[in-house]
C-alpha cells in the first residue's frame, strides 16, 4: 500500500502541479488569512514559553505556502513531502534558509525529528488512508506543552446537511466545467456511488477520504483530547468555486473542518 501510495501521490502532485487551483484554503483570502493567523498565534504562544525557536513538523507541505508563515512567526521547520517533485521544489525554494529542513517521506511515516513543539497538517489528513494512526504518531512527537493543528479536511459526509452536500456538489461540478474537467469528476462519483475504487487510479487514491466518506472529525477530536489539554474543532464551509465560497459561508452549514490541539500532556492519558 505505501509504495503504491507514494507513486499515486507523486502522480497527483507532479512537477508542474498547481496546488492553488482546486484548494479552497489557498484560493480564498479569508480562509487563508484565518489559517495563517491561527498558525501565527500558536507559534507566537510557543515562542513566548521558551528562549529557543519553536520547532515545527509540517507534514505534506506541498510547495510550502504555510512554511513561509511558520518561519515568519519565528519557527524552525521540518517539512515532509511524499511527492519527490514537491520535495525538490521545497528544497529549491528554501535552499538559503538554514531554518528549513526538507524530508522526502516516501513511506509517509512522518520521517523527521522525534520531538517538536508543533505538528501541522494543512489539507493532508484526507490523503492518508489511516489518518488516525498518523495523528497518533504525530502527537507522539509533540513535546509536553506543545500543539497540533490541522485544517482543510472534508467533514464526514453522513454528518453534513443535505443543503451543504447539494451546494458543495453543484459548486464542484460548476468548477469542474470551468476547468474543462467534468469527466474525471463524473467517473469518480460513479465509482463512489458503487463503492468500487481503482487502487491504481490517482483520482481514487490520492485524496483518499474525499472520494470515500470524508474525515471523522469526532474521532480526530477524541484521539487528540486523550493527549492534549485543549482541543477545539473548527467546522467551516469551503469550496473550490470562487462564486460559491461567500454564498455557502452564509447559506450552507459547514462541510470542512480544522482542529487545534494545545498543551500536549506529558503522558498520553494523563
Please report, as ranges, the residues that interact with ligand SAM according to CB under 6 A.
9, 13, 19, 23, 26, 59-62, 65, 80-83, 86, 105, 108, 122-124, 127-128
Q: Shortest Cβ distance from residue 86 to ligand SAM (Å)?
A: 5
Which CB sits closer to ligand SAM, 128 or 135? 128
Which CB sits closer to ligand SAM, 65 or 74? 65
Residue 216 burial (CB count, 10 A): 18
Q: Shortest Cβ distance from residue 165 to ligand SAM (Å)?
A: 21
* Cα-Cα-Cα-Cα dihedral sign, residues 134, 138, 141, 145: negative
Q: Shortest Cβ distance from residue 103 to ligand SAM (Å)?
A: 9
Residue whose grid cell is 521544489: 89
Q: Shortest Cβ distance from residue 59 to ligand SAM (Å)?
A: 5
Which CB sits closer to ligand SAM, 9 or 256? 9
3-state secondary structure of 203: helix
Can you list the pairs that 32-38 forms with residues at least 24 positions away whose Cβ atoms lie under 8 Å? Answer: 35/66, 35/122, 35/151, 35/152, 35/258, 36/66, 36/69, 38/149, 38/151, 38/258, 38/260
The answer to whether the beta carbons of residues 164 and 252 sit under 8 Å apart is yes
Which CB sits closer to ligand SAM, 181 or 230? 181
Name residues whose C-beta falls within 8 Å of residue 122's C-beta, 6 or more positions apart in sequence: 25, 35, 58, 60, 61, 62, 66, 150, 151, 152
Q: Shortest Cβ distance from residue 251 to ligand SAM (Å)?
A: 26
Q: Shortest Cβ distance from residue 70 to ligand SAM (Å)?
A: 11
Which CB sits closer to ligand SAM, 18 or 251? 18
Q: How far apart are CA 246 and CA 237, in angstroms?
A: 9
Q: Is 58 exposed, middle or buried (0-12, 13-18, 19+ CB in 10 A)?
A: buried
Which CB sits closer to ligand SAM, 124 or 171? 124
Amino acid at each position: 500500500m505505501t509504495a503504491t501510495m507514494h507513486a499515486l501521490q507523486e502522480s497527483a502532485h507532479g512537477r508542474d502541479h498547481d496546488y492553488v487551483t482546486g484548494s479552497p484554503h489557498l484560493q480564498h483570502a479569508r480562509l487563508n488569512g484565518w489559517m495563517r493567523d491561527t498558525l501565527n498565534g500558536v507559534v507566537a504562544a510557543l515562542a513566548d514559553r521558551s528562549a529557543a525557536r519553536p520547532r515545527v513538523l509540517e507534514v505534506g507541505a506541498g510547495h510550502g505556502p504555510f512554511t513561509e508563515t511558520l518561519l515568519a512567526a519565528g519557527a524552525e521547520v521540518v517539512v515532509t513531502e511524499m511527492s519527490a517533485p514537491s520535495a525538490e521544489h521545497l528544497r529549491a525554494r528554501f535552499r538559503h534558509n538554514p531554518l528549513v529542513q526538507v524530508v522526502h517521506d516516501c513511506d509517509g511515516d512522518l520521517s523527521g525529528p522525534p520531538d517538536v513543539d508543533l505538528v501541522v497538517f494543512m489539507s493532508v489528513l484526507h490523503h492518508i488512508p489511516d489518518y488516525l494512526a498518523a495523528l497518533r504518531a504525530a502527537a507522539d512527537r509533540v513535546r509536553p506543552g506543545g500543539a497540533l493543528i490541522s485544517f482543510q479536511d472534508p467533514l464526514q459526509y453522513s454528518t453534513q446537511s443535505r443543503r451543504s452536500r447539494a451546494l458543495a456538489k453543484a459548486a464542484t461540478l460548476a468548477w469542474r466545467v470551468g476547468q474543462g474537467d467534468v469527466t474525471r469528476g463524473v467517473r469518480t462519483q460513479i465509482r463512489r456511488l458503487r463503492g468500487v475504487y481503482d487502487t491504481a487510479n490517482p483520482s481514487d487514491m490520492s485524496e483518499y477520504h474525499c472520494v470515500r466518506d470524508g474525515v471523522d472529525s469526532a474521532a480526530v477530536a477524541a484521539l487528540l483530547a486523550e493527549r492534549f489539554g485543549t482541543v477545539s474543532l473548527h467546522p467551516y464551509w469551503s469550496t473550490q468555486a470562487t462564486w460559491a465560497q461567500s454564498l455557502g459561508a452564509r447559506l450552507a452549514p459547514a462541510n470542512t473542518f480544522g482542529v487545534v490541539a494545545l498543551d500536549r500532556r506529558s503522558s498520553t492519558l494523563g
